[in-house]
Amino acid sequence: MKKIILLLSILIIISACSNKNEIPKPAKPIDKAVMENILYDLALLQALKSYSPEKLTKNSINSKTYIYQKYKIDSLQFVENNKYFASDIETYKLMFENVSNRLQKEKIEIDKVLSKELKVKTKKSQDSLEKIVKKSKVIARG
C-alpha cells in the first residue's frame, strides 16, 4: 500500500511540475512569416532610431504606429502574438536568427553598393585631378 501511495504521489508531483502554462493562441493570430517581417522592420527602425533619430522625427515617423499601419494590426494584437511566439523559445529563437541573417544579408548588399559608389567617386576625383594637372602643365609651358 505504501508503494502505491508513493508511486501516486510521485506521479502527481511529476504531472504538476510538467504542467506548462501554455499561452493560448491569440484571438487575431499573425502568421509566423509576417511576425518575422514585423520583427525585421522593428530592428531596422530601432537601428535608425539609434543611428539617426532626426530622420524619423523629420519624416514624422513613429516606429510603433508605422508597424501597426503597415501590417494592419493593433498594439494588442502585436503584444498577444509576440507573447504567444515567445512562449515557444525555440521557435522564437529561430525567428530572431532568421531576422539576424536577413539583416546580415542586407548589410552585405548595402556594403557592395557603397563600395561601388566609392570607387566611382574616387575615379571621378582622380580624373578631375589628372585634368587639373594637364591644364597646369599646359599653362606652365605656355
Q: What Å distances lie between residue 21 and 9, 17, 18, 24, 88, CA to CA?
A: 21, 11, 9, 9, 11
Share of the chain above pLDDT 70, in %: 75
Q: What is the mean pLDDT of residues 36-43?
A: 94
What pLDDT is attached to residue 34?
Answer: 96
Give the model confidence (pLDDT) of 97-109 as tens digits. Answer: 999 999 999 999 9
Burial pattern 39-57, b for ≥16 Cβ within 10 A else e, equals: bbbbeebeeeeeeeeeeee
Alpha-carbon distance of 60 to 75, in angstroms, equals 19
What pLDDT is attached to residue 92?
Answer: 93
96 and 39 Cβ atoms separated by less than 8 Å: yes
Give the model confidence (pLDDT) of 129-138 as tens digits. Answer: 677 766 666 6
Of residues 24 and 5, which shows the higher confidence score? 24
Confidence at 61, pLDDT banded by 50, 70, 90: confident
Annotated domain spans of the chain: 29-131
Q: What is the mean pLDDT of residues 17-46?
A: 86
